[in-house]
Amino acid sequence: MSNYFSELKNKTVIVTGSSKGIGKDIALTFAKLQANVVISGRNQKDLTATLTELQKHNSKCMAVCGDLSSIEEVRTLIDQAAAEFGTIDVLINNAGINIAKPAMEVTEADWDTVLDLNLKTAFFASQAAARYMLEQKNGRIINIASQMAFVGYVKRAAYCSSKGGLVQLTKALAVEWAQQGIRVNAVAPTFIETEFTAKMFENKEFKNDVDRRILLDGLAQPEDISGAVLYLASNLANFVTGETIKVDGGWTAI
């Protein structure tokens, strides 16, 4: 048991959208295993604070500030990580956004913002990382999808579309790159208890509806998502590709 995940030591792990929330928890999980973690985000102050935490576990972790809605900045992130560490072993596409509006109020700009970051950025980050992984004949890509890829919900038309597309993208890339040693999988969380969702759950009607749909007690914690990601990045998942693991407390089981 103590040897599990030891293979991740010194691996290069990129986590997009990782200055806060579940991205930060995922990054910390890998840093504690001595992986060389590269975090990214738009807020330099938050990135610096998170990097300080990571470097308590592995001094070789690094941060790259940038707006990942720009594909050029996506490519820069991947290239800087490769230049620093020599390999790209694990890419975790966590950066994402939701604009919660009734479908009749969604603007073209809203739609493009959600689809671009949640789906387009994930594809081009995967493409950029795969350039290195194909040369290595090895690599893991893990997309953070959502239970909303499998069910509908109010004020989530763009979000559900983007995450449904991400699950299908996961399958498409898994099929295309399997023979080259790249495994592509996804994790689909339910609502998670973070600083981002705290304000959302001040709406008691919404909170009660979510509680009713989750079969297990309470909300998911960031470490619940990190555990699934860690499994997919490790040798325990060597024969898994094209799969999406739902971490939804039973929401989609009904």
Which residues participate in catalysis according to the annotation? Answer: 159
Q: What are the structure tokens assigned to 244, written together?
A: 């999406």
CA distance 178 to 182: 5
CA distance 103 to 159: 11
In sequence order, the 6+-apart residues with CB closer than 8 A to the CB of 74 are 66, 68, 121, 124, 125, 128
CA distance 240 to 231: 10
Helices 121-136, 71-85: inter-axial angle, 10-degree rounding:
30
Q: What is the CA radius of gyration of the chain?
A: 17
